[in-house]
Amino acid sequence: MVSFHEWMLNSRSPLIRTVIRLKSIMLANAGIPMLALHLPAMLILLAPICIIEYFVARRTLTLPRKWIANGVLWANVATTLLGVPLTWAAMLALNIATTDTKTQDLDTLPGLAATVVLQSSWLNLPEPGFEWLIPAATLVLLVPYFFVSVFTERLVLQYLWNDSPKSVVNRICWTANSTTYAMLACLVVATLFINGG
């Protein structure tokens, strides 16, 4: 039977291969800044996310299609380039304040929870076999990313679609981001199962 570590090394997933390459060129105990993995992935997924959110908005709004497309694009660019990095920085500050970035005891439930939740922004993988912490931390970070995305996109869209009722823009932001973040979470989980099979 193939170990999880061997599976990671032989994975066909570009994201997993990138993680392994990044880990091999980093200092042994420096850890993995998850933003270095998330930001490129979010830039790659920006177009599909914008398309999905465009269709969510178009079902509700009576604005011209070009205005809807521009609004969705600028809102998602703001989220990707400002909201996500600032959220990651806040999670890193939480990591430093609560765990002092020290590797936790992964043999205990509190240590495992502290690593997955509190250290989700900058992972320290103590040894081979703990690479599963990468998608687990990604799932944890999707939660604050989601709320910041709703907030950021709502601000941008209320400015760009100022003739639309705020309640409608708010509902669009919640619905669109619920849809795309659920898909992102499924993608993270599916990557593990597809490559593990």
Amino acid at residue number 193: F
Q: How many domains does the chain have?
A: 1
Helix residue ranges, H only, 61-102: 65-78, 84-99
Tokens (6 digits) for 175: 């619905």
Length of the chain in terms of residues written: 197
> What tokens appear for 65 in the block?
């299609």
Give the range of the structural domain holding residue 21, as residue numbers without chain letter: 4-196
Q: Which of 136, 90, 89, 86 is nearest to 116 (CA)?
A: 136
Over the stretch 88-106, which tens digit does the pLDDT of each residue have?
A: 999 988 888 887 666 666 6
pLDDT digits (tens, 9 = 90+) for 9-56: 566 666 666 655 555 544 445 677 888 888 999 999 999 999 999 999
Q: Are strands 122-123 and 32-33 parallel, antiparallel or unpaired?
A: antiparallel
Which pLDDT score, from 0 to 100, does residue 50 have? Answer: 98
Per-residue pLDDT of 104-152, as tens digits, reads 666 777 777 777 778 888 887 666 667 777 888 899 999 999 999 999 9
181 neighbors 145 (Cβ within 8 angstroms) = yes
Q: Which long-range contacts (CB under 8 A, 24 or more apart) does 115-121 make?
A: 116/140, 118/94, 119/95, 120/34, 120/91, 120/95, 121/33, 121/34, 121/35, 121/88, 121/91, 121/92, 121/94, 121/95
